[in-house]
Chain A
Amino acid sequence: MTNLLELVRGFKDDLHRGRGLLDHAKFDEAQALLAKYDGLFPKDADLALLRARLAFGQQDFEAASALFAKVLALDPFNVLAIGMQAHSLTKIGQRDAALTLLESARAAKPDDNTLLEYYLPQVLTQRGLPEAIAVLRSEYQRRGSNNKPTAAAEIVRQKALSLFTMDEVRAADPDDLLMLVGDVATDGYNLRSMYAAFEPIGCNCEFGFAQRHRGVEPLALFRWTGVTPANLIRMLDCNLDGYEDPKIYKIDNLTGREYMLVESLFDTLTHTGVSTSDLPADEFLDRVTRRQGFLKRKFLQDAAEGKKIFVYKADHVLGEEEMSALEAQLTRLGVRRILFVQLDKSRPGGTFEVTAEKRAMGYLSQVQPNTKFDEWDRIVVAAHDHFLGRGAIG
């Protein structure tokens, strides 16, 4: 009896450990761990799910599809298994089966937002943008105000803007479910080109998402990077020396879906936007560290040219000492336009003021995860007009 209890307790511990290994893309170790249970616990859905995730991570999508089918036979409404099975089926060319699976699951669980988030991108790529918008419209009409599918709408917006022009997206979305109206600003500019004139430098990805929200995807070193103010100042102080060294990087899968780039010299953490299922961890690390050198070169060039508006966003009220230290380092590199944006509930969100020759301030009433993109739009338009519009400083 003791042995049986120990076996079961060890099994649960191993399941937990296996999930962690898969989350961190350590597929060889996960494989060795799961091999202990070959032929055992055939009806355990959690073990079956780990085996399926392992095959998916190793990009053996045929095997993954067969294994996810087993999981779903044991646990028909496992949403993660449904979503990953749809991905697997798509990868092996069974696109119709992927959609059918998701539609069946949605028929059983119509209010499940995660299922909708898996479903809509499939509809968009297979049936087109108008059909995806129609599904979204139906969901908005059917649901109450407490369960609006806003995350699903954001996914559709991002995918649509990466596949189609702004005009095409607008034409397919007459009700503006994707919230694109107001994109056209004054003076012959549009928000897409305005947002492209900014270079984010911290403290997190919020401005990168604001750029994406307006359909612009510039290549920028800090766009998806989190860094503390002290470390950012340290980086700038040494001209980012050593930041391209592959030895300071490792990748992690903290989110369970995406490779994260962990850097040890300045303690930065960077989203890569690359799924752990897309390529093996070692290959990905080689590719992404090469990218860092390229983006560092671009960052220093942008700073030296002094044309872009460098945006530093903070989730707190900035002190003069912090702003002055950053401004001194940026100015030393050649930057001539700096926009500090801070969360400040004492001021109206979306307001802007010029505080010095090279410095302006923007104020937000909310920040991630409750970003108010209209506030960002107002700040960006005002800063663009001030720094780059008619009568702007040189």
Chain B
Amino acid sequence: MDRALIQAELQTIFHDVLRAPGFVPTPEMETGAHPNWTSIANVEILLSAEELWGFEFSSADIDGVRSFGDLIDAVAAKLG
């Protein structure tokens, strides 16, 4: 899948999970860049991505995600 499409889908997930429809995450942003972007939100974001694309992140995938850009990379790698 095209990286831009992944980014757009993830942005929708962020809007839903963070309840922040106007928030535009950029690749370098990390947890805390929005007040609702907490570690608990991170779990929900990862779960939502798993449900949307039908795969499971490995522990190493999860540990490697620190920023929004890392998450795009992790999804892109999963989708091949």
Contacts and interface: CB of A to CB of B under 8 A. Distances in A.
B58 to A, nearest CB: 7
Nearest to A288: B40
Q: Which of A196, A287, A305 has the most CB of B within 10 A?
A: A287
Interface stretch (A147-155, A247-255, A295-303): A295-303
A291 B63 contact: no
B44 A290 contact: yes
Contacts of B43: 219, 290-291, 294-295
> Interface residues of B: mostly helix, strand, loop or mixed?
helix
A121 to B, nearest CB: 11
Given A163-B32, A217-B39, A273-B39, A287 B44 contact: yes
Nearest to A291: B43
Contact of A219 (B36, B56, B62): B62
A162 B46 contact: no
Given A273-B38, A288-B40, 5 more contacts: A162-B30, A162-B31, A219-B62, A274-B38, A291-B44
B11 interface: no
Closest 5 CB pairs of A and B: A162-B32, A301-B59, A291-B43, A302-B59, A298-B59
Interface of B: 30-33, 36, 38-40, 42-44, 46-47, 56, 58-60, 62-63
A21 B42 CA distance: 30
A294 B38 contact: no
Interface in A286-332: 287-288, 290-291, 294-295, 297-298, 301-302, 305
Q: Which of A278, A288, A295, A298 has the most CB of B within 10 A?
A: A298
B19 to A, nearest CB: 8
Interface in A203-220: 217-219
B46 A278 contact: no
A272 B40 contact: yes
Contacts of A290: 43-44, 47
Nearest to B59: A301
A219 B44 contact: no
Given A163-B32, A273-B39, A301-B58, A294 B46 contact: yes
A196 B64 CA distance: 10
Contact of A273 (B30, B40, B56): B40
A359 B31 CA distance: 33
A159 B46 CA distance: 23
A219 B47 contact: no
Contacts of A219: 39, 42-43, 62-63
A251 to B, nearest CB: 12
Contacts of B38: 273-274
Contacts of A163: 32-33
A288 B40 CA distance: 7
Contacts of A302: 59
A92 to B, nearest CB: 14
B43 to A, nearest CB: 4
A131 to B, nearest CB: 18
Contacts of A301: 58-59
A274 B40 contact: yes
Contact of A287 (B30, B32, B40): B40
B59 to A, nearest CB: 4
Contacts of B42: 219
6 contacts: A162-B30, A273-B38, A274-B38, A294-B46, A297-B56, A298-B62
Contacts of B31: 162, 217
